[in-house]
Structure 1
Amino acid sequence: MTKSSHSSSTAATRAPDFPMGFREFLALMASLMALNALAIDAMLPAFPAIGNALGVAAANDRQYILSAYLFGSAIGALFYGSLADRFGRKPVLLSAICAYAIFAALGGFSTSFTALLGFRFAQGLAAAAMGVVALAVIRDRFSGDRMARLVSLVFIVFMAVPIIAPTVGQMILYVASWRYIFILFVVLSGVVGLWAWLRLPETLDPANVIPIRVDDVAATWREVVTNRGALGYVLASGVVMGGLFGYLNSAQQIFADIFDAADIFPYAFAAVAASIAISNWFNSRIVERFGARRVSHTALIAFILLSGAQIAAASLAHETLPIFLVLIAANMSMIGFTGSNFGSIAMQPFGRMAGAASSFQQFARTLLAAGIGAVIGQLFDGSVVPMATGFLITGLVALVLVAWSERWELFKRRMPPGTPAMPE
């Protein structure tokens, strides 16, 4: 694809030299990201079974099954962008999918908790490519509020995974060992990898190929870090995601230990995840009209207010499961209005270096979120208070970071010049 044809094809996902229609493109991008979500959420119901099988006595220690994967995903994100900018999106993506399947299989055969954590870390290393390369492919073709809308549409499909994954994991546990959850990862990654191999064209413009040189990579990372308008949103996104990961780490214990509702955990978790999917759908409908900044800033403030309500409810002596579900669903729905918009705003300045920028941003975002989420999860004390307090703190810190990024002018829409329209 030449530089001129690339710029003209950004007006629509389907172009003469781009064989995928818009819906197929959307579905494939969502499926790539869904492999990552599946490896997180399908494992949650299996924490007690894995702990019992591998001799993990402390319930909080079982959270490391999730944390190891997230830290691997963070570290892996640091490298895939540069590889994708040098060798192309497609070969890097396909190689990572193969590695994801291999380490998933090895994790399923683990005989010790230490080995399982090692293979989960390695699986996360491979899975990092799904988000980095998918976002770079999207940025190759769209930008600005149009990109924010497309990312929201991807997240709508992507969020179907957290809705159904815990239920799928639980259903596997009803009829088989937890090891078969890892076999599911292998099968589904093979299907998605074959689809990408057969249908996804290379989207990297040859004019934008960046050789891998240490000085150049360092210069790219330095440009990303020193761009105030992007850095604040990257850090804010990581902080808010930290609250989400804190919930993921402790969700199984919250439902089982606090509300004595382990049997309905997959379904309650699905209801909360559905709130994020619904908010992403609404975001896709309004973001081009109101702008990614106005929508996300409003949602972040609402997240903070809802976190205060969550603390108040958690402090009650007899907080009920329905009250908890309503508040946590409302809190999580705000992430649907911040996540994709924060990511799109942060990527806006980096068209030519989309791969390396996406890589470094995902590294910083995921590493920050994994660390915060691990801390919140380890503070679980048999109540919802640590998680709710974590929400409030992360929301306030994120608001300060966003305000700093915007030079203390919130809700101001900034349209990139010459942004092409995206088809309905």
Structure 2
Amino acid sequence: MDQINPALASQSHGRAPIGLGEFVALCAALMALTALGVDAMLPALPAIGESLNVSSANQRQYVISAYLIGFAVSHLIYGPLADRYGRRPVLAISLAGYVITSAIAAASSSFVLLLVARATMGAVAAGGRVVTVAIVRDRYSGRGMAQVMSLISMVFMAVPIAAPAFGQAVLLVGTWRLIFWGMSVAGIAVLAWFWLRLPETLDPGARQPLSLRRIAADYATAARDRYALGYTVATAAMMGGMFGFINSVQQIVYDVFHAEHLLIPVFASIAASMAVGSMINSRLVMRVGMRRISHTALTIMIVVAAIHLAVAWMELETLLSFVVLQSLMMVNFGLVGANFQSMAMEKMGAIAGTASSLQGFFTTFVGASLGAVVGQMFDGTTVPLYAGFFIAGVSALIIAAITERGRLYRPS
């Protein structure tokens, strides 16, 4: 991984500030803290409900939703700060906040206090996502950025695969509170790695003044760009399906298939399929192009979602069909995500932090809100989940078609 192929190097702005392998691993670790904050919770939701007197399974989903809403809203803060003060200080403060709020969540004595801690935890975790995307954009653009983001996603997906197993293992030896203490320790480790190894990537001459007028102008620039706006909205639609899955998967495995002991392997198998999609994209994107890959994959995802919805509607769903069809969808999701994100950032190099903030806020807030609606519609079947996935996919494809003026599937 330390060798950058010539095509990627030609679209980079100098090499990664450290070896490419370590750069990818560190960026993945920075972004993975967010996933750890969500996925490690899944096996613990029943235990949290029992400990804090929350009887409704659907209400326990708020442990996930509160984190995601806090994560979304705070995106707007980090980008302008990172464009003004640089990537390192903003990211360091974000990681320190993650350590502290994880500890507060571990000590929560009521469900309300836990939700407040979770929302705050999500708010500080957002810095990892925003600043990491800006760091990658500082060094790469176009297909080069898409390839690097795919490599990051491939490594990053190790956390969604392992996090539920971590949560389940903790529950075998202690209470759900130990999961949060584990997150705090992970935050300390990533903070130390980042601070010791990653230099500042923002050119001092590229720093932007911190003023409301400048921030508003940069937001307007990002919102006026056809591709930045279109692919951000399309990504938000897709994320609605993803967050609906995260909100619902524990109840689906427990209540639909009555296979509590299989939650970990089911979730890991589906998450691994997304990593496979990212790996395939990293190999193909330089030759085939972001648009051709992502538009084709999105179309396939819609078809699979329609098939899965039909299976669920006819009450033919089994645990095997659920895992196979969901995995097929997530392979294609992995082929879409990094490319959509890179196309949205393609012309945003001069305002990478602010653009990453705005795009991250919109995709996460809208996606988490739609996902919460899908999760709350859980009725003991997988029909609401796959109706949500189908609608999200069709909406994303329509938005992409409008963005490209109808010229889908073209190489560039």
For the superposition of Structure 1 and Structure 2, which TM-score range results when normalised by the shorter chain?
A: over 0.9
| Contact 2:11 2:142 (8 Å CA) reproduced | no
Name the counterpart of 1:249. 247
Q: Which residue of 2 aligns with 1:10?
A: 12
Q: CA deviation at 1:223?
A: 1.1
1:219 to 214, 217, 220: 217
Q: d(CA) in 1 for partners of 2:11 and 2:398? A: 38
Distance 1:40 1:175 in 2: 20
CA distance in 2, matches of 1:10, 1:28: 18
From 303, 306, 322, the counterpart of 1:305: 303
1:288-332 per-position Cα deviation (integer Å, ceiling 9, x unaligned): 111011100001100110010111111233421111110111111
Q: Tell me which of 302, 307, 313 is aligned to 1:315.
A: 313
Q: Deviations over 1:104-132 (max 9, x none)?
A: 10001001111000000000000001110
Q: 2:264 aligns with which of 263, 266, 270?
A: 266
1:30 to 18, 22, 28: 28
Aligned-partner SS, 1:353: helix
Q: Note if contact 2:12-2:144 (Cα within 8 Å) is conserved in structure 1.
A: no
Letter in 1 for 2:247: N
| 2:393 paired residue number | 395
Partner of 2:380: 382
Instruction: Give, in whole Å, the separation in 1 of the partners of 2:143 and 2:219.
Output: 24
Q: CA deviation at 1:206?
A: 1.2
Return the letter of the residue paired with 1:249. N
Task: Determine the C-alpha separation between the residues in 1 that align with 2:209 and 2:182.
Answer: 37
- Cα distance in structure 2, aligned partners of 1:276 and 1:151: 13
Structure 2 CA distance for aligned equivalents of residues 12 and 276 of structure 1: 29
**For the Cα contact (< 8 Å) 1:230–1:405, is it kept in 2?**
no
Residues 271-290 of structure 1: per-residue CA shift (max 9 Å, x gap):
00000001100010001111
Asked whether 1:136 is paired with 2:138, we answer no
Mean CA deviation greater in 222-231 or 378-387? 222-231
Q: Find the aligned partners of 2:184 and 2:166 in 1 and give their Cα distance.
A: 15
- What secondary structure, in the 3-state scheme, does the structure 2 residue paired with 1:247 have? helix
CA-atom RMSD in angstroms = 1.2
CA distance in structure 2 between the aligned counterparts of 1:323 and 1:411, rounded to whole angstroms: 29
Q: How does 1:159-238 map to 2 (within 5 A)?
A: 159-238=157-236
1:418 is matched with none
Structure 1 residue 217: Cα displacement: 0.3
The residue that corresponds to 1:51 in the other structure is 49
Q: Secondary structure at the match of 2:349?
A: coil
Cα separation, 2, equivalents of 1:343 and 1:8:
20
Residue 280 of structure 1 aligns with an amino acid whose one-letter code is: S
Deviation at 1:267, TM superposition (A): 1.0
Contact preservation (8 Å) 1:310, 1:388: yes
What letter matches 1:13 in structure 2?
Answer: R
- How far did residue 174 of structure 1 move? 0.9
Question: Corresponding residue for 1:81?
Answer: 79
Separation (CA, whole Å) in 2 of partners of 1:134 and 1:394: 26
Aligned to 2:3: none
Aligned-partner Cα distance in 2 for 1:331–1:208:
40
Contact in 1 for aligned 2:241/2:367 (Cα 8 Å): yes
CA distance in 1, matches of 2:409, 2:80: 33
Between the aligned partners of 1:343 and 1:351, the Cα distance in structure 2 is: 13
Distance 1:285 1:298 in 2: 16
- Map of 1:286-297 to 2, 5 A cutoff? 286-297=284-295
Rounded Cα–Cα distance in structure 1 between residues aligned with 2:187 and 2:393: 34
| Superposed displacement of residue 238, structure 1 | 1.0
Q: Name 2:341's counterpart in structure 1.
A: 343
Deviation at 1:348, TM superposition (A): 0.3
Which one of the candidate residues 143, 153, 156 is aligned to 2:154?
156
Name the CA distance, whole Å, in 2 between partners of 1:22 and 1:287. Answer: 18
SS of the residue aligned with 2:74? helix
**Offset from partner CA, 1:132-185 (integer Å, 9 cap, x none):** 000000000000001000000000000011111101100100110000000011
Number of paired residues?
Answer: 404
CA distance, structure 1, for counterparts of residue 318 and residue 275 of structure 2: 24
2: distance between equivalents of 1:110 and 1:126?
Answer: 18
TM value normalised by structure 2? 0.96
In the TM superposition, residue 12 of structure 1 has moved relative to its aligned partner by 4.8
Q: Give the counterpart letter for 2:325 in structure 1.
A: L
Q: Are 2:274 and 1:279 aligned?
A: no
2:212, 2:32 → 1: CA distance? 32
- What pairs up with 1:113-124 in 2 under 5 angstroms? 113-124=111-122
1:96 equivalent to 2:94? Answer yes
Instruction: Find the aligned partners of 2:54 and 2:339 in 1 and give their Cα distance.
Output: 39
Q: Is the 8 A contact 1:81 1:358 kept in 2?
A: yes
The 8 Å contact of residues 11 and 144 in structure 2, kept in 1 or not, is answered as: no
What letter is aligned with 2:12? T
Q: 2:11, 2:141 within 8 Å by CA — same for their partners in 1? A: no
1:34 positional shift: 0.6
Identical amino acids, percent of aligned pairs: 47
CA separation of 1:242 and 1:193: change in aligned 2, threshold 3 A: same
Unaligned runs of at least 5 residues, structure 1: 1-6, 415-424
C-alpha separation in 2, matches of 1:261 and 1:8: 50
SS at match of 1:332: helix
* 1:21 counterpart letter in structure 2: G
- Partners of 2:411 and 2:318 lie apart in 1 by 41
Deviation digits for residues 87-117 of structure 1 (CA, Å, limit 9, x no counterpart): 0000000000000110110001001111000
Letter in 2 for 1:53: S
Counterpart secondary structure, 1:352? helix
Contact in 2 for aligned 1:234/1:343 (Cα 8 Å): yes
Aligned 8 A contact 2:94 2:127 in 1? yes
1:240: which partner in 2? Answer: 238
